[in-house]
Homo-oligomer: A and B are copies of this chain.
Amino acid sequence: MKVLMCVPNISEGKNPDAVERVIDQVRAVMGVKLLDYSSDPTHHRSVLTYLGEPQPVLEATKAMAAAAFDLIDMSTHHGAHPRMGAVDVVPFIPIRGMEMEEAVEISWYFGRFVGEMGIPVYYYEEAARRPERVSLVDIRRGGYEALPDKLGQEEWKPDEGPAAFHPKSGATVTGARFPLIAFNVNLQTEDVSIARRIADSVRYTKGGYRFVRAMGLALEGEGAVQVSMNLIHYIQTPIPRVMDTIRAEAARYGVNVTGCEVVGPIPMGAVVEVFKHYLQLHDFADDQIIENALLE
Protein backbone atom coordinates (compact mmCIF):
# COMPACT_ATOMS: atom_id res chain seq x y z
CA MET A 1 0.00 0.00 0.00
CA LYS A 2 1.18 3.49 -0.85
CA VAL A 3 0.61 6.31 1.63
CA LEU A 4 1.11 9.96 0.71
CA MET A 5 0.61 12.76 3.21
CA CYS A 6 -0.23 16.37 2.32
CA VAL A 7 0.12 19.35 4.68
CA PRO A 8 -1.26 22.44 2.89
CA ASN A 9 -1.01 25.88 4.46
CA ILE A 10 -3.82 28.23 3.45
CA SER A 11 -4.14 31.96 4.13
CA GLU A 12 -7.36 31.92 6.14
CA GLY A 13 -7.26 31.57 9.91
CA LYS A 14 -9.95 33.92 11.19
CA ASN A 15 -13.20 32.64 9.67
CA PRO A 16 -13.93 29.10 10.92
CA ASP A 17 -16.83 28.67 8.47
CA ALA A 18 -14.58 29.37 5.50
CA VAL A 19 -11.93 26.98 6.85
CA GLU A 20 -14.60 24.30 7.33
CA ARG A 21 -15.76 24.69 3.72
CA VAL A 22 -12.18 24.16 2.52
CA ILE A 23 -11.68 21.14 4.79
CA ASP A 24 -15.01 19.64 3.67
CA GLN A 25 -13.46 19.21 0.21
CA VAL A 26 -10.89 16.88 1.77
CA ARG A 27 -13.45 15.02 3.86
CA ALA A 28 -15.54 14.38 0.73
CA VAL A 29 -12.87 12.30 -1.00
CA MET A 30 -13.13 8.58 -0.29
CA GLY A 31 -9.83 7.02 0.76
CA VAL A 32 -8.45 10.22 2.25
CA LYS A 33 -8.09 10.45 6.02
CA LEU A 34 -8.02 13.92 7.63
CA LEU A 35 -5.53 13.62 10.50
CA ASP A 36 -5.49 17.13 11.85
CA TYR A 37 -6.14 20.79 11.16
CA SER A 38 -5.55 24.00 13.04
CA SER A 39 -6.13 27.70 12.47
CA ASP A 40 -4.11 30.58 13.83
CA PRO A 41 -5.98 33.94 13.75
CA THR A 42 -2.79 35.97 14.41
CA HIS A 43 -1.06 34.36 11.45
CA HIS A 44 -4.41 34.37 9.60
CA ARG A 45 -3.45 30.93 8.40
CA SER A 46 -4.61 27.29 8.67
CA VAL A 47 -2.71 24.03 8.31
CA LEU A 48 -4.38 20.79 7.21
CA THR A 49 -2.89 17.30 7.46
CA TYR A 50 -4.36 14.35 5.57
CA LEU A 51 -3.18 11.15 3.94
CA GLY A 52 -4.16 8.27 1.73
CA GLU A 53 -3.22 6.66 -1.58
CA PRO A 54 -1.54 9.15 -3.95
CA GLN A 55 -4.43 9.61 -6.41
CA PRO A 56 -7.16 10.37 -3.86
CA VAL A 57 -4.77 12.71 -2.03
CA LEU A 58 -4.13 14.58 -5.28
CA GLU A 59 -7.87 14.82 -5.96
CA ALA A 60 -8.57 16.06 -2.43
CA THR A 61 -5.80 18.65 -2.76
CA LYS A 62 -7.15 19.98 -6.05
CA ALA A 63 -10.69 20.29 -4.62
CA MET A 64 -9.34 21.85 -1.41
CA ALA A 65 -7.31 24.40 -3.39
CA ALA A 66 -10.19 25.30 -5.71
CA ALA A 67 -12.39 26.05 -2.68
CA ALA A 68 -9.64 28.08 -0.99
CA PHE A 69 -8.95 30.15 -4.13
CA ASP A 70 -12.66 30.84 -4.32
CA LEU A 71 -13.03 31.93 -0.68
CA ILE A 72 -9.77 33.80 0.01
CA ASP A 73 -8.88 37.25 -1.30
CA MET A 74 -5.20 38.04 -0.78
CA SER A 75 -5.63 41.71 -1.67
CA THR A 76 -7.19 42.24 1.78
CA HIS A 77 -5.14 39.63 3.69
CA HIS A 78 -2.98 40.62 6.63
CA GLY A 79 -1.22 38.18 8.93
CA ALA A 80 1.95 37.80 10.97
CA HIS A 81 3.22 34.76 9.07
CA PRO A 82 5.14 35.23 5.79
CA ARG A 83 2.95 34.20 2.82
CA MET A 84 2.59 34.62 -0.93
CA GLY A 85 -0.80 33.21 -1.80
CA ALA A 86 -4.27 32.01 -0.85
CA VAL A 87 -3.06 28.41 -1.11
CA ASP A 88 0.36 29.30 0.17
CA VAL A 89 2.46 26.13 0.52
CA VAL A 90 1.49 22.56 -0.40
CA PRO A 91 4.07 19.90 0.51
CA PHE A 92 3.48 16.26 -0.47
CA ILE A 93 5.24 13.80 1.82
CA PRO A 94 5.81 10.10 1.01
CA ILE A 95 5.05 8.05 4.12
CA ARG A 96 4.98 4.45 3.00
CA GLY A 97 5.50 2.24 -0.05
CA MET A 98 6.47 5.02 -2.44
CA GLU A 99 9.60 6.77 -3.64
CA MET A 100 10.23 10.50 -3.41
CA GLU A 101 10.05 10.69 -7.23
CA GLU A 102 6.38 9.71 -7.15
CA ALA A 103 5.57 12.40 -4.59
CA VAL A 104 7.43 14.90 -6.79
CA GLU A 105 5.29 13.88 -9.78
CA ILE A 106 2.11 14.34 -7.76
CA SER A 107 3.24 17.84 -6.78
CA TRP A 108 3.87 18.64 -10.45
CA TYR A 109 0.35 17.44 -11.35
CA PHE A 110 -1.00 19.70 -8.64
CA GLY A 111 1.18 22.60 -9.84
CA ARG A 112 -0.11 22.31 -13.41
CA PHE A 113 -3.69 22.31 -12.08
CA VAL A 114 -3.07 25.56 -10.21
CA GLY A 115 -1.14 27.07 -13.11
CA GLU A 116 -4.05 26.36 -15.45
CA MET A 117 -6.23 28.47 -13.11
CA GLY A 118 -3.99 31.43 -14.03
CA ILE A 119 -2.10 31.44 -10.74
CA PRO A 120 1.74 31.47 -10.68
CA VAL A 121 3.29 28.33 -9.15
CA TYR A 122 6.81 27.67 -7.82
CA TYR A 123 8.19 24.17 -7.17
CA TYR A 124 10.34 23.75 -4.05
CA GLU A 125 12.37 21.16 -2.12
CA GLU A 126 12.62 17.83 -4.00
CA ALA A 127 10.30 19.12 -6.74
CA ALA A 128 12.41 22.24 -7.44
CA ARG A 129 13.58 22.71 -11.03
CA ARG A 130 16.22 25.33 -10.19
CA PRO A 131 18.67 25.12 -7.26
CA GLU A 132 17.73 28.61 -6.07
CA ARG A 133 14.15 27.42 -5.64
CA VAL A 134 14.85 24.50 -3.26
CA SER A 135 14.34 26.58 -0.13
CA LEU A 136 10.88 27.92 0.70
CA VAL A 137 12.45 30.88 2.49
CA ASP A 138 14.27 31.93 -0.69
CA ILE A 139 11.15 31.64 -2.86
CA ARG A 140 8.91 33.46 -0.39
CA ARG A 141 11.23 36.42 0.31
CA GLY A 142 9.18 39.63 0.13
CA GLY A 143 5.90 37.76 0.33
CA TYR A 144 2.69 38.57 -1.51
CA GLU A 145 3.57 42.27 -1.62
CA ALA A 146 6.74 41.64 -3.64
CA LEU A 147 4.99 39.47 -6.26
CA PRO A 148 4.11 42.20 -8.83
CA ASP A 149 7.77 43.19 -8.99
CA LYS A 150 9.22 39.64 -8.86
CA LEU A 151 6.94 38.30 -11.58
CA GLY A 152 8.44 40.87 -13.99
CA GLN A 153 11.93 39.36 -13.50
CA GLU A 154 13.21 36.46 -15.64
CA GLU A 155 14.76 35.01 -12.48
CA TRP A 156 11.31 34.65 -10.87
CA LYS A 157 9.36 33.41 -13.91
CA PRO A 158 6.99 30.85 -12.36
CA ASP A 159 7.36 27.09 -12.98
CA GLU A 160 3.67 26.89 -13.92
CA GLY A 161 1.03 29.50 -14.76
CA PRO A 162 1.48 32.97 -16.20
CA ALA A 163 4.26 35.42 -15.21
CA ALA A 164 1.49 37.83 -14.22
CA PHE A 165 0.38 39.06 -10.82
CA HIS A 166 -2.92 37.51 -9.66
CA PRO A 167 -4.19 39.96 -7.00
CA LYS A 168 -6.84 37.67 -5.52
CA SER A 169 -4.81 34.45 -5.20
CA GLY A 170 -1.13 35.53 -5.17
CA ALA A 171 1.20 32.59 -5.88
CA THR A 172 1.43 28.98 -4.71
CA VAL A 173 4.53 27.01 -3.68
CA THR A 174 4.25 23.23 -3.96
CA GLY A 175 6.66 20.32 -3.92
CA ALA A 176 7.68 17.18 -2.13
CA ARG A 177 9.80 16.54 0.92
CA PHE A 178 10.63 13.83 3.40
CA PRO A 179 8.65 13.62 6.63
CA LEU A 180 10.32 15.66 9.33
CA ILE A 181 10.71 14.21 12.81
CA ALA A 182 10.86 16.59 15.78
CA PHE A 183 13.13 14.88 18.30
CA ASN A 184 14.38 16.33 21.59
CA VAL A 185 16.93 15.00 24.07
CA ASN A 186 16.80 16.19 27.70
CA LEU A 187 20.03 16.44 29.66
CA GLN A 188 20.60 16.40 33.41
CA THR A 189 22.44 19.70 33.77
CA GLU A 190 21.57 23.36 34.18
CA ASP A 191 24.41 24.43 31.90
CA VAL A 192 22.81 25.42 28.60
CA SER A 193 26.24 25.77 26.98
CA ILE A 194 26.56 21.97 27.16
CA ALA A 195 23.28 21.55 25.26
CA ARG A 196 24.52 24.06 22.68
CA ARG A 197 27.85 22.31 22.22
CA ILE A 198 26.14 18.93 21.84
CA ALA A 199 23.66 20.42 19.36
CA ASP A 200 26.61 21.72 17.34
CA SER A 201 28.13 18.23 17.29
CA VAL A 202 25.17 16.83 15.36
CA ARG A 203 23.89 19.79 13.33
CA TYR A 204 24.71 20.01 9.66
CA THR A 205 25.72 23.67 9.65
CA LYS A 206 28.38 22.98 12.29
CA GLY A 207 29.87 19.90 10.66
CA GLY A 208 27.42 17.33 12.03
CA TYR A 209 25.01 15.05 10.22
CA ARG A 210 23.69 16.17 6.88
CA PHE A 211 19.98 15.94 7.73
CA VAL A 212 19.95 17.32 11.27
CA ARG A 213 18.87 20.77 12.39
CA ALA A 214 19.62 21.26 16.08
CA MET A 215 19.82 23.83 18.82
CA GLY A 216 20.53 23.79 22.53
CA LEU A 217 18.12 25.48 24.91
CA ALA A 218 17.28 25.77 28.60
CA LEU A 219 14.08 24.18 29.90
CA GLU A 220 12.95 27.07 32.07
CA GLY A 221 11.99 26.10 35.61
CA GLU A 222 13.00 22.48 35.13
CA GLY A 223 16.69 22.85 35.97
CA ALA A 224 17.50 21.00 32.77
CA VAL A 225 18.56 21.67 29.20
CA GLN A 226 17.58 20.20 25.87
CA VAL A 227 19.01 19.44 22.47
CA SER A 228 16.04 20.23 20.23
CA MET A 229 16.19 18.80 16.71
CA ASN A 230 14.45 18.42 13.41
CA LEU A 231 15.52 15.24 11.64
CA ILE A 232 14.75 15.92 8.03
CA HIS A 233 15.69 12.61 6.39
CA TYR A 234 15.34 9.69 8.79
CA ILE A 235 16.58 7.18 6.21
CA GLN A 236 19.91 8.82 5.37
CA THR A 237 20.49 10.19 8.87
CA PRO A 238 18.75 7.64 11.10
CA ILE A 239 17.63 8.45 14.65
CA PRO A 240 19.87 5.90 16.43
CA ARG A 241 23.02 7.39 14.89
CA VAL A 242 22.08 10.85 16.15
CA MET A 243 21.04 9.46 19.54
CA ASP A 244 24.30 7.56 20.02
CA THR A 245 26.38 10.60 19.08
CA ILE A 246 24.51 12.73 21.58
CA ARG A 247 24.98 10.13 24.32
CA ALA A 248 28.70 9.96 23.58
CA GLU A 249 29.06 13.75 23.57
CA ALA A 250 27.03 14.06 26.78
CA ALA A 251 29.34 11.52 28.43
CA ARG A 252 32.28 13.88 27.74
CA TYR A 253 30.69 16.30 30.18
CA GLY A 254 29.57 13.59 32.61
CA VAL A 255 25.96 14.50 31.81
CA ASN A 256 23.13 11.95 31.63
CA VAL A 257 20.27 11.80 29.16
CA THR A 258 17.16 11.78 31.34
CA GLY A 259 14.66 11.24 28.55
CA CYS A 260 13.71 12.09 25.01
CA GLU A 261 10.61 13.27 23.15
CA VAL A 262 9.19 12.71 19.72
CA VAL A 263 6.94 15.73 19.13
CA GLY A 264 4.08 15.11 16.73
CA PRO A 265 3.87 12.51 13.99
CA ILE A 266 6.48 9.92 13.04
CA PRO A 267 6.31 7.41 10.18
CA MET A 268 6.25 3.74 11.17
CA GLY A 269 9.36 3.24 9.04
CA ALA A 270 11.37 5.42 11.43
CA VAL A 271 10.09 3.44 14.43
CA VAL A 272 11.04 0.15 12.78
CA GLU A 273 14.54 1.46 11.98
CA VAL A 274 15.14 2.19 15.67
CA PHE A 275 13.83 -1.27 16.58
CA LYS A 276 16.15 -2.94 14.04
CA HIS A 277 19.18 -0.90 15.06
CA TYR A 278 19.12 -1.53 18.79
CA LEU A 279 18.18 -5.21 18.45
CA GLN A 280 20.85 -5.72 15.75
CA LEU A 281 18.27 -7.19 13.37
CA HIS A 282 19.90 -7.50 9.96
CA ASP A 283 17.12 -9.34 8.09
CA PHE A 284 13.86 -8.10 9.57
CA ALA A 285 11.00 -7.75 7.06
CA ASP A 286 8.30 -5.15 7.63
CA ASP A 287 5.57 -7.68 6.91
CA GLN A 288 6.57 -9.60 10.04
CA ILE A 289 4.69 -6.89 11.93
CA ILE A 290 1.24 -8.40 12.34
CA GLU A 291 -0.73 -5.17 11.92
CA ASN A 292 0.94 -4.50 8.56
CA ALA A 293 -1.32 -7.19 7.08
CA LEU A 294 -4.23 -4.93 7.94
CA LEU A 295 -2.64 -1.94 6.21
CA GLU A 296 -2.17 -3.83 2.93
Contacts and interface: CB of A to CB of B under 8 A. Distances in A.
B288 A260 contact: no
Contacts of A96: 291
A95 to B, nearest CB: 5
Contact of A271 (B240, B271, B277, B295): B271
A264 B291 contact: no
Given A243-B279, A278-B240, A279-B243, A268 B284 contact: no
A264 B284 CA distance: 9
Contact of A51 (B260, B262, B290): B290
A293 B295 CA distance: 10
Interface residues of A, number: 42
A135 B91 CA distance: 55
A281 interface: yes
A294 B51 contact: yes
Given A262-B284, A274-B274, A291 B267 contact: yes
Interface of A: 3, 5, 33, 35, 51, 95-96, 179, 239-240, 243, 257-262, 264-268, 271-272, 274-275, 277-284, 288-295
